[in-house]
Amino acid sequence: MTTLQTSPRTTAAWPGIIEAFRSHLPVTDATPIVTLREGNTPLIPLPRVSAAIGRQVEVWVKFDGLNPTGSFKDRGMTLAISKAKEAGAEAVICASTGNTSAAAAAYARRGGLRAYVLIPDGYVALGKLAQALLYGAEVLAIQGNFDRALDMVRQVASRYPVTLVNSLNPYRLEGQKTAAFEVVQALGDAPDWLCIPVGNAGNISAYWMGFCEYHQQDRCQRLPRMMGFQAAGSAPLVLGQPVEAPETVATAIRIGRPVNWERALAVQHASQGAFTGVTDAEILDAYRFLAAEEGIFCEPASATSVAGLLKLKDQVPTGARVVCVLTGNGLKDPDAALQHNTAQQRPAVPPDPAQVAKAIGF
């Protein structure tokens, strides 16, 4: 009689983006690595979105909302905090529409640093605020929008011993470019289009850096068109001028003066890309579609990339491969999910099988 030897399937533990892509990043043996094993997020096919486009187009999402703090910011923050610690910093500061503050707080505290975060009063999604508070950041609400909060942070960081970790910090973009590496590794090449939400335009710049780096090293044969999408009420790069009072349901990208403006224009030019605005209604349609048709719960700002693709569907070349970046997790913004679903609200039912069956329509 033979005994079937079954052993649990194990894979080498993912080490986080710095170890995984060490030779591409500005670290040395002297850099203390502060990591939560971020990165290695899934690339998920979207068959229903492909079908909605109606021609043979392959659509994927890079779901970076599955990072340790629930957004792509973790990729940049592991490096920014590691480098701040290497330089002897004891505290970091950022302005944030929410996700940067959550990531800064988590990585700073893990590295033993203090974190100060400035947020626009009343415009940060509940989950993100909850994270920053529980991770132990000093949270300061500013009477003004994100752009004003960032002005404050820049001035404070230039005068006091505290390291700025917004995407003006070059290590942020270096870390975030690893998402492009992962996309190329998963697909075997770069996609034809990369659709991405744009706020401060840090992430679109970082992805482009990553694709160009891999292209120069012959790890991919093509470069994507970089398709950036902004909320229509908060679309300075579409309008070609700053927006003084940005408004959108996608609070993560409620930004009127993107700090990476020049970089973003350079990316658009070099990749033959475009910036396009999508309305809040289009964003929310994509947000609901992703959840109810594809089983993917992202935050409203992230759905902007899919909303944008659907808006431009007639321009997508037949046979093209498209990757949409989903930057943040849906659980970040429970209010948006509760307000913008189409579920039928029903009163509570007594715990009786007949009444339950009746209530659900049998």
Alpha helices in 198-350 (DSSP H): 202-216, 236-239, 261-271, 280-294, 300-311, 334-339
Closer residue to ligand AN7, CB minimum distance, 113 or 226: 226
CA–CA separation, 198 and 106 (whole Å): 23
| Residue 203 is a binding residue for ligand AN7 (CB under 6 A) | yes
CB closer to ligand AN7, 27 vs 179: 179
Choice between 35 and 260, CB closer to ligand AN7: 260
Question: Should residue 120 be labelled a site residue for ligand AN7 when binding is judged by CB under 6 A?
Answer: no
* Range 137-196, binding ligand AN7 (CB under 6 A): 167
Q: Rule CB under 6 A: is residue 268 a binding residue for ligand AN7?
A: no
Q: Which of 78, 82, 97, 276 binds ligand AN7 (CB under 6 A)?
A: 97
CB of 34 to ligand AN7, least distance (A): 19
Contact between 237 and ligand AN7 (CB under 6 A)?
A: no
Nearest to 225 by CA among 269, 259, 285: 269
Q: Per-residue x/- mask for ligand AN7, residues 242 to 261, rule CB under 6 A? A: ----------xx--------
> Which amino acid, 252?
A
Would you say the C-alpha torsion 135, 78, 63, 277 has a positive or negative sign?
positive
Give me the least distance between CB of 180 and ligand AN7, in Å please. Answer: 13
> Is residue 323 within 8 Å of 195, Cβ to Cβ?
yes
Q: Which amino acid does the sequence have at 9?
A: R
How far apart CA 238 and CA 265 sit, in angstroms, is 11
Decide: residue 100, CB within 10 A, 0-12 exposed, 13-18 middle, 19+ buried.
buried
Candidates 78, 100, 145, 178; binder of ligand AN7 (CB under 6 A) is 100
In the list 41, 82, 200, 248, the residue contacting ligand AN7 (rule: CB under 6 A) is 200
| Stretch in the footprint of ligand AN7 (CB under 6 A) among 9-17, 27-35, 90-98, 137-145 | 90-98
57 vs 236, which CB is nearer to ligand AN7? 236
Beta strands in the chain (DSSP E): 43-45, 58-63, 91-95, 114-120, 138-142, 163-164, 193-197, 225-231, 274-278, 321-326
Please count the residues of this chain forming the interface with ligand AN7, following the rule CB under 6 A: 21
At residue 326, φ and ψ (nearest 5 deg) are -105, 105
Cβ contacts of residue 14 below 8 Å, gap of 6+?
20, 37, 39, 40
Instruction: CB nearer to ligand AN7: give 57 or 104.
Output: 104
- The answer to whether 327 contacts ligand AN7 (rule: CB under 6 A) is yes
In the list 35, 69, 71, 131, the residue contacting ligand AN7 (rule: CB under 6 A) is 71
- The token pair that represents 92 in the structure block: 């970091």
Residues that bind ligand AN7 (CB under 6 A): 71, 96-100, 167, 197-203, 252-253, 299, 301-302, 327-328
